[in-house]
Structure 1
């Protein structure tokens, strides 16, 4: 049972956390691999080596129009979204105006818009990876434990894919394939929603994993 003292301690701990913001960098280019999680991270680290040590920074992959053959076409809405504590805005802002290459695909990064995180009762991550959990039921149990560790109470689920199976996703990191699942969290309080958007679930958040968006914003590309 959660005591009032525990709840108070949890609330106090959250209030001492540094506020997070999201930098939304427009990008210009033509085409990218649909699985560019690692490629994007490697390109950004090449520009800012310090990113490698920043465990509280999350980097969303770039949305585009998928061709279902392993590529996406970039659109006027394509962007890189990076979540950072306020004190680390200057670090991420160094990307503004930089040209980078993701594999053989060049893109140009524009000047970002900076916004605060807004609560939403229903959040979705395109892929969440938890090491050692590659089947849906054990994965959900592990994800519930992580939510509990964040003092978040909400419903967690894996939506079905087009075949009616739990939506399983993969990403490649060099020679390795990482398995994860699309994950939805619903019934969040405003405070828990912000907490989840700050902290995420699972690993590989430098590579677009475990990062939650309001369901209406999520794009499955």
Structure 2
């Protein structure tokens, strides 16, 4: 995705803090994602680089053998939450749940974040192991949730994420909405 975007905005490739969310859709058995009317591309650039995103409006991105057309960018503010979740976090060299969780907690501590990391679970209670394909390679990671975040820790985690491959949707966190908490 980042290569397709960088075709129009070369500076995007060099942004350290850029996060590109995975695009939601319907997975197929052959590893494809079928986009729906609700599928969206979310890009989280550093605040001082937002202006680089607007010229993407109306552009067609070639992703593999598929083409998607981008609409007009919309700005969404980051949501405050004591809990954040990433669909997939990749930490090179850590593919087993226990060692991965310890490595994730160390990365949080290196950022000065006091929150506690948990691997998200499947309905049967097993760790939610996820993978992405990068060219011919399959990279393994886990769904991850971080709880007990202060406002400062929340902003740091949203800004920097943890793990690698943020431009491919990994280690990009979003607020978890607590069900039944109406205000």
TM-score w.r.t. the length of structure 2 is: 0.89
Instruction: Check if 1:164 corresponds to 2:125.
Output: yes
| Residue number in structure 2 paired with 1:18 | none
What is the 5 A alignment of 1:1-80?
40-67=1-28, 69-80=30-41
Instruction: Check if 1:86 corresponds to 2:47.
Output: yes
Partner Cα separation in structure 2 for residue 101 and residue 85 of structure 1 = 24
| Residue number in structure 1 paired with 2:149 | 188
For structure 1, the 5+ residue unaligned runs are: 1-39
| Residue number in structure 2 paired with 1:147 | 108
Indicate the structure with greater strand content.
1
Instruction: Check if 1:102 corresponds to 2:102.
Output: no
Partner Cα separation in structure 1 for residue 176 and residue 29 of structure 2 = 22
Residue correspondences, number: 178
Instruction: Check if 1:115 corresponds to 2:80.
Output: no
TM-score w.r.t. the length of structure 1 is: 0.75
| Residue number in structure 1 paired with 2:181 | none
Instruction: Check if 1:208 corresponds to 2:135.
Output: no
Instruction: Check if 1:133 corresponds to 2:94.
Output: yes
Look at both structures and tell me which one has the larger radius of gyration over its CA atoms: 1
For structure 2, the 5+ residue unaligned runs are: 179-183
Q: Please give the root-mean-square deviation of Cα atoms over the aligned residues, in Å.
A: 1.8
Partner Cα separation in structure 1 for residue 72 and residue 135 of structure 2 = 30
Cα distance per residue 1:48-80 (max 9 Å; x no partner): 222221111111121123345533332232111
Partner Cα separation in structure 1 for residue 66 and residue 124 of structure 2 = 32
Return the offset for 1:89. Answer: 1.1
Cα distance per residue 1:17-43 (max 9 Å; x no partner): xxxxxxxxxxxxxxxxxxxxxxx2222
Note if contact 2:20-2:168 (Cα within 8 Å) is conserved in structure 1.
yes
Cα distance per residue 1:6-25 (max 9 Å; x no partner): xxxxxxxxxxxxxxxxxxxx
**Which piece of structure 1 moves more, 63-72 or 147-156?**
63-72
Match of 1:177 among 135, 138, 148: 138
